[in-house]
């Protein structure tokens, strides 16, 4: 049986990283939900914003301007994000998976820290009981 030993510090670093990633994705999805109704897919490689200058999806969703002009966007990054993540709803799956991994890491960290704490207390009790003999 393969046994992998991971110390508490590594788990804490991973947990912190996944909390930050999950918060970023949550904020991103919130901003995306606010502006997604203003974007349509035009010709191949072209996103059509409903008004003003083009908005963007990266690094944070930004609304387009407020002028009454339809404006195409030729950004490859925006197109890929829209086609792969938004139109397929993969962004929501990514959000759920990131929070699931975060919660599992938090649970594992709490269990590992509490079990290590109990083992240390048991060792102190055993040392104290042997010291009185």
DSSP string covering the chain, please?
Answer: -------HHHHHHHHHHHHHHHHHHHHHHHHHHHHGGGEEE-STT-EEESSSS--B-SSS-B---SSS--EEE--HHHHHIIIIIITTTHHHHHHHHHHHHHHHHHHHHHHHHHHHHHHHHHHHHHHHHHHT-
pLDDT for the residue 111: 85
Per the domain annotation, does 1 fall within a domain?
no
Q: Which residue has the higher pLDDT, 10 or 46?
A: 10
Asked if residue 21 has pLDDT above 70, the reply is: yes
The pLDDT tens digits of the residues spanning 30-82 come to: 888 877 777 766 766 677 777 666 677 777 677 666 655 556 667 778 888 88
Tokens in use for 46? 């072209």
Please indicate, yes or no, if residue 112 is contained in any of the structural domains. Answer: yes
Any domain includes 127: yes
Question: What's the pLDDT at 122?
Answer: 53
Residue 83: C-alpha distances to residues 28, 38, 87, 100 (Å): 16, 15, 5, 24
Specify the pLDDT at position 20.
Answer: 96
The predicted pLDDT at position 125 comes to 54
- Indicate whether 79 belongs to any domain: yes
| Whole-number Å distance between alpha carbons of 73 and 58 | 13
Given this model, what pLDDT does residue 72 score?
65
Q: Is residue 3 assigned to a domain?
A: no
In a domain, 40, yes or no: yes
Q: Is residue 46 part of a domain?
A: yes
Domain around 83? 8-131
| Rounded Cα gap, residues 121 and 132, in angstroms | 17
Residue 2 lies in a domain: no
Question: In the prediction, which pLDDT does 24 show?
Answer: 93
* pLDDT at site 101: 95
Q: How many domains would you assign to the chain?
A: 1
Could you count the other beta carbons within 10 Å of the beta carbon of residue 21? 15
């Amino acid at each position: 049986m393969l046994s992998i030993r991971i110390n508490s510090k590594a788990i804490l670093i991973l947990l912190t990283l996944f909390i930050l990633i999950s918060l970023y994705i949550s904020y991103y999805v919130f901003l995306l939900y606010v502006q997604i109704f203003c974007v349509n897919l035009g010709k191949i490689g072209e996103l059509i914003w409903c008004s003003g200058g083009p908005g963007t999806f990266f690094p944070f969703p930004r609304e387009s301007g407020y002028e009454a002009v339809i404006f195409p966007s030729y950004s490859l990054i925006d197109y890929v994000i829209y086609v792969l993540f938004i139109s397929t709803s993969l962004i929501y799956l990514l959000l759920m998976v990131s929070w699931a991994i975060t919660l599992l890491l938090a649970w594992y960290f709490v269990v590992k820290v509490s079990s290590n704490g109990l083992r240390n207390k048991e060792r102190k009790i055993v040392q104290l009981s042997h010291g009185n003999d």
